Amino acid sequence: MCLTWRRVPPRACGCLVASQEVRENLTVVSELRVQQVTTTLSLVATIFLPLTFLTGVFGMNFTYDDK
């Protein structure tokens, strides 16, 4: 069962396997959270970046010379 260490007692080997499973589960949970945050930030950027561009374009002061 425990392939990494040959002289580890079976009970300790079981704990090692269980801790690896817990670590893998925590990694999956944290990856899902990062994905949710990335999706939210992408949606916010999709809304606000064009608005920022339009504000910059229409907020410029132009002077017209009628010469």
Residue 66 domain flag? no
Residue 2 domain flag? no
What is the band of 67 on the pLDDT scale with cuts at 50, 70, 90? low
Q: Dump pLDDT digits (tens) for 8-64.
A: 666 666 777 888 889 999 999 999 999 999 999 999 999 999 999 999 888 887 777
Q: How high is the pLDDT of residue 11?
A: 67
How many independent structural domains does the chain possess? 1
Q: How high is the pLDDT of residue 52?
A: 92
pTM for the model stands at 0.60
Higher-confidence residue of 45 and 2: namely 45
The dihedral formed by the CA atoms of 12, 17, 23 and 28, expressed in degrees to the nearest 10: -170
Domain that holds residue 16: 10-55
Tokens 């374009």: give the residue.
57
